[in-house]
Structure formats: structure tokens, C-alpha cells
Amino acid sequence: MKEEDIRPQAIFDEYLQLAKEDAITYFATAERESSNCPACGALGEFSFDKNGFTYEVCNNCLTLYVNPRPAVSAFLKYYTESPSSKFWATTFYKETAEARRDRLWKPKASAIHEIVLRYFKDSEIPTIVDIGGGYGIFAEEMRKLIPVSPVVIEPGPSLAEICRQKGLPVIEKFLEELAKSDLPQGAKVFSSFELFEHLHDPERFLRCLNGLMSGGDVFVFTTLSGMGIDIQVLWENSKSVMPPHHLNFFNPESIKVLLSRTGFDVLEIETPGKLDLDILLNSRLSIKDRFWRNFLETASDAERANWQQFISSSGRSSHMRVVCQKPLN
Ligand SMILES: [Zn+2]
């Protein structure tokens, strides 16, 4: 898989340009609040400013995060009415939907299916609850694999409607507004993909989720690792470091700290990413490090593929997948 397949460069750059303008329009005058590291609570240190947002790195666990953080009301306004949000939901999505289904959602669905087989008995088929289900493509793929219909939690009215048209049960709320009685009974696997890096308050999100889960339920999520190789090398020039969208970059160690503080047992943390070196290759003109520039100029496709394999298997990709569980008691 190549970055171009799921994020065609021209259209992605247009989106980033809109997001950059929106970061000023919606946040320049927003009230901001300071806090410590969202993973471990230690103090952070200034790293860089980007599009009017300040990023800090935790001295203790190396989490990269926006601090101070604009008020949540500014984000709600931004996500409901900004030009870049609209561009993402319409133009960007339309152009890439089928490529993303095949290259992202089908593999994600089969990975979740394997996780279900690992942690649940045959007699106990869990309901998949997809938080921030968007267009419902993951849920559609999931229902081909598991005989219990997935449930989508999607607060956006137009996205929720698209899911309903696909015959998916939808709860049109933010996770933080949900009650346990909104959800089907029985064992559950909650999932969220590429959501965690956007969360205004990850600790609150996890505590709310924990309150909705029963002992033995599983939560699987993917997010960006700030210790991932493309982010480490490109740093403030990384297109993944994109305010106002991406506020939290945990890493395989720091996410454990946050999960154990919020009542979860960690079952698996992996970085199954495939794109780090392709992203670096596409952004090589903004790489300062001589080794990486020369490596990318000279490595063959096969050599890059070998390195990518090693980066993923050693936990150094920026695409991180976490499987955790609410303990039985
Ligand atoms: Zn920390």
C-alpha cells in the first residue's frame, strides 16, 4: 500500500491548506487552558508552534500534545461548520472511498475479527460498537464477518443518516452522552479508528467508555504514535502533526500509563503501520537529517519494504493499535 492510494497528494494538500486557514479562523481568539501531559500528568516542555497551536513534549513519557488547548466549544463549532471539515466529509471522502474500503477498512475488519476470535469463546459472540463510525464502511465490512449486527455511535447527523440508510443501527450521540442502557446487552467489543488523536480530553473519554463497559468487554483502537518513525523524523513538518485535528500523540509506553490510570488492562499494543517510509519518501524535501535523506534517495523498493517490516514489528511505526479490556472485577 502507498500513501497516494489513501491520501492522494494534491487533494490532501488542498485539505491541509483549508485546515491551516480554519485553524486561524476558528481558534485564533478561542480561550485556552493549560494542562499537564495527558498520559502521565508530568510537565511538558515547549517543542514548536504550528498554525497557531503550541505542541509540547512530556519530559517523562515523550507524549507529544497540544498545550494550552482551546476550549471544547471552539472544536464543536469547527467540526460542524468549517470549510476543511466539509471538504473532508465530501470531496476527500468521495475521491478516496473505495480505495479506503479495500485498503483500510477490509483489513481492519479482519484484524478485529481475529481479535474477537482470540478473546471470546465461540458461544459468546460480542456486539461490535464502533465509536465515531463515520460512513459506516467498517461496520458494513464487519457484519460480513460476524453474525451479530454492529452498532455505530456517530454524533454527526448527516453521517448518522448515511449509516441508517445502510441498515446499520446508529446511536446519534457523542460517547460522553451515552448511557449503558443505550447499548445492546451481552458481550461487546468497542472500536474506534483514528479518533484518539483528535480527543479534547482523552482521560475523560476513557473514563466514560469504561463506565459503559462490562467486565470482560474489549476496546480496540488505532491512533498515531508520536514515537513513530515518520513523525520523529519530520516532527513539526509532519503532515500528521495537523492542528486543529491532531492534539494527542501517545506512544506504545505512554498509552499504557493512561489506560491503567483509567481502569483498563492492556492486552496488546502493536504498530502494524505500513506507510512510514512511504510518507518519509513523499516528504523527503523537508527532512534535515542526512542519513534519512540519503537512505530514501538510494534505497530500492525491496529494501524499503524490509525496513518498513522491521519498523512495524519493533513498535516504531506511527500507526499504533491498542487492545485493552475492562477487568472482570
Ligand atoms: Zn507524560
Q: What is the pLDDT of residues 234-281, one digit of tens each?
A: 999 999 999 999 999 999 999 999 999 999 999 999 999 999 999 999
Q: Give the CB-side neighbour count of residue 230, counting CA atoms within 13 A.
A: 27
Which pLDDT value is given to residue 96?
Answer: 83
pLDDT at residue 65, as a whole number: 98
Q: Ligand 1 centroid vs 205 CA: distance in angstroms? A: 17
* Span from the CA of 113 to the centroid of ligand 1 (angstroms): 32
pTM of the entire predicted model: 0.94
- Ligand 1 centroid to 255 CA: how many Å? 9
Q: Is the pLDDT score of 81 beyond 90?
A: no
pLDDT of 79 reads: 84
Segment 307-323 mean pLDDT: 98
The pLDDT score that the predictor gives to residue 6 is 81
Rounded to the nearest whole angstrom, what is the distance from the C-alpha of residue 248 to the centroid of ligand 1?
A: 11
How far does residue 60's CA lie from ligand 1's centre (Å)? 5
Instruction: State in Å: Cα 57 to ligand 1 middle.
Output: 8
Looking at every residue in the chain, the average pLDDT score rounds to 94
- The region of weakest confidence among 110-114, 120-124, 281-285, 319-323 is 120-124
Q: How far is the CA of 43 from the centre of ligand 1 (A)?
A: 7
pLDDT at res. 207: 98
pLDDT in tens, 146-163: 999 999 999 888 889 989
pLDDT greater than 80 at residue 328: yes
- What is the Å distance from ligand 1's center to 256 Cα? 11
Q: Which of 23, 7, 8, 107 is nearest to 70 (CA)?
A: 23
Q: What is the pLDDT of residue 319?
A: 98
What pLDDT, on a 0 to 100 scale, did the predictor assign at position 91?
83
Between the CA of 20 and the centroid of ligand 1 the distance, in Å, is: 27
pLDDT of residue 97: 78
Q: Is the confidence at residue 53, as pLDDT, over 90?
A: yes
Assign 3-class secondary structure to the chain.
CCHHHHCCHHHHHHHHHHHHHHHHHHHCCCCEECCCCCCCCCCEEEEEEECCEEEEEECCCCCEEECCEECHHHHHHHHHHCHHHHHHHHHHHHHHHHHHHHHHHHHHHHHHHHHHHHHCCCCCCCEEEEECCCCCHHHHHHHCCCCCCCEEECCCHHHHHHHHHCCCCEECCCHHHCCHHHCCCCCEEEEEECCHHHCCCHHHHHHHHHHHCCCCCEEEEEEECCCCHHHHHHHHHCCCCCCCCCCEECCCCHHHHHHHHCCCEEEEEECCCCCHHHHHHHCHHHCCCHHHHHHHHHCCHHHHHHHHHHHHHCCCCCEEEEEEECCCC
What is the whole-number distance in angstroms between the Cα of residue 132 and the centre of ligand 1? 26
